[in-house]
């Protein structure tokens, strides 16, 4: 009986620890945690780009967005912000939203709560200094939260956000056509699309395929009469 009770406790503890990490794959878990996957009140689609800035990927994405008069949200890794602050200033000057993806690109489940809180605080300071205003949104690397990490994000007055669509553009063996097809499959108002403007933490050169896929994604948005928008806190 003692062994069985211990096993039950171990399973329960594991569920508590792993549960938040499943939020992006399970809408009920995300809802229970209060982490949006979509922008429920939005009439547009939020294009979001993780892992930047990048000296090739970010300018390529910004060029396409400017050509189409589209806005987006960039979840920035602050160690890269320090390397390329001018790119972040360009993101902000173009009217896009600069958000937090961490100081380093690390899985929350591999960090002690104190270490994660320190990483988050450092990221907020770096991004806020370069942009001239405090960031408002946070997305965790790999889409993985812990309860302690989510609490730290909220204590920092950041709004957590995951995604409802993705292009899986980090993969080695994909194409711009496949990225665009995945990102727009079943697309509707309120969706949040995950893409990447950098290849720091994914397959080398993946940002080129993302930039190449972006015109087709925006063309599909036009066909559906859905504007590409930055994330709105009122609808997140």
Picking from 111, 114, 109, 123, the residue whose alpha carbon sits closest to that of residue 77 is 123
199 is catalytic: no
Cα–Cα distance measured from residue 210 to residue 199, given in angstroms and rounded to the nearest whole number: 10
Run of H or E including 165: strand 165-166
C-beta of residue 167 within 8 angstroms of C-beta of residue 133: no
50 is catalytic: yes
C-beta of residue 45 within 8 angstroms of C-beta of residue 187: yes
Task: Considering the candidates 196, 197, 199, 207, report the single residue annotated as catalytic.
Answer: 196
- Which structure tokens are listed for 61? 């994405």
Beta-strand (E) ranges in 97-152?
97-100, 137-138
Task: Considering the candidates 50, 51, 169, 199, report the single residue annotated as catalytic.
Answer: 50
Cα–Cα distance measured from residue 80 to residue 158, given in angstroms and rounded to the nearest whole number: 20
Cα–Cα distance measured from residue 169 to residue 173, given in angstroms and rounded to the nearest whole number: 9
Beta-strand (E) ranges in 29-118?
45-50, 73-76, 97-100
Catalytic residues: 50, 196
């Amino acid at each position: 009986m003692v062994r069985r009770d211990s096993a039950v406790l171990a399973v329960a503890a594991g569920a508590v620890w792993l549960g938040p990490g499943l939020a992006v794959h399970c809408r009920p878990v995300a809802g229970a945690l209060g982490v949006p996957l979509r922008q429920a009140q939005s009439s547009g689609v939020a294009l979001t780009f993780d892992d930047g800035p990048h000296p090739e990927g970010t300018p390529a994405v910004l060029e396409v967005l400017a050509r189409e008069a589209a806005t987006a949200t960039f979840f920035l890794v602050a160690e890269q912000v320090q390397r390329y602050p001018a790119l972040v200033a360009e993101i902000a000057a173009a009217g896009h939203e600069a958000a937090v993806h961490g100081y380093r690109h690390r899985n929350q489940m591999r960090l002690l709560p104190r270490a994660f809180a320190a990483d988050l605080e450092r990221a907020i300071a770096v991004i806020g200094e370069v942009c001239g205003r405090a960031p408002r949104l946070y997305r965790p690397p790999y889409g993985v939260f812990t309860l302690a990490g989510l609490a730290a994000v909220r204590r920092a007055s950041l709004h957590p956000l995951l995604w409802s669509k993705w292009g899986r553009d980090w993969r080695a063996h994909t194409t711009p056509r496949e990225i665009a097809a995945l990102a727009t499959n079943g697309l509707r108002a309120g969706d949040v699309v995950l893409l990447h403007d950098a290849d720091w933490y994914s397959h080398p050169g993946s940002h080129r395929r993302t930039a190449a896929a972006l015109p087709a994604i925006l063309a599909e948005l036009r066909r559906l009469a859905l504007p590409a928008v930055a994330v709105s806190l009122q609808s997140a």
